[in-house]
Amino acid sequence: MAKKKDKKDDKKKMGRPPTKPVTKRKAYYVSVKVVNSMNSTSTDVLISKDSIAEIKQLIARSPQTVTVLGYWNGKAYEPVDLS
């Protein structure tokens, strides 16, 4: 005769464990829109860089759409002049 499993034990093992939310560091942030032509989807990827020169290099080399969000100071984005 087969033993019955307790439903309490089954609920503990099901599902994915909780994950810690991402904390943003103080840096310059850029949003890149990546388009996948295989399944016609587009995704926004958040990238952080330490200097404005690195952001300019990313914009020059990236074939995707790049949007500069600004400098994250811990509370909000500060606008950045790239000229």
* Per-residue pLDDT at 15: 82
List the alpha helices (DSSP H) in 1-83: 7-13, 52-61
**pLDDT single digits (tens) 33-64:** 999 889 989 999 999 999 999 999 999 999 99
* Per-residue pLDDT at 67: 94
| Least reliable range by pLDDT among 5-14, 15-24, 36-45 | 5-14
Q: How far from the centroid of its chain's Cα atoms is residue 5's Cα?
A: 40
CB 66 within 8 A of CB 39: no
What is the arithmetic mean of pLDDT over 7-24?
74
* Per-residue pLDDT at 65: 92
pTM passes above 0.75 = no
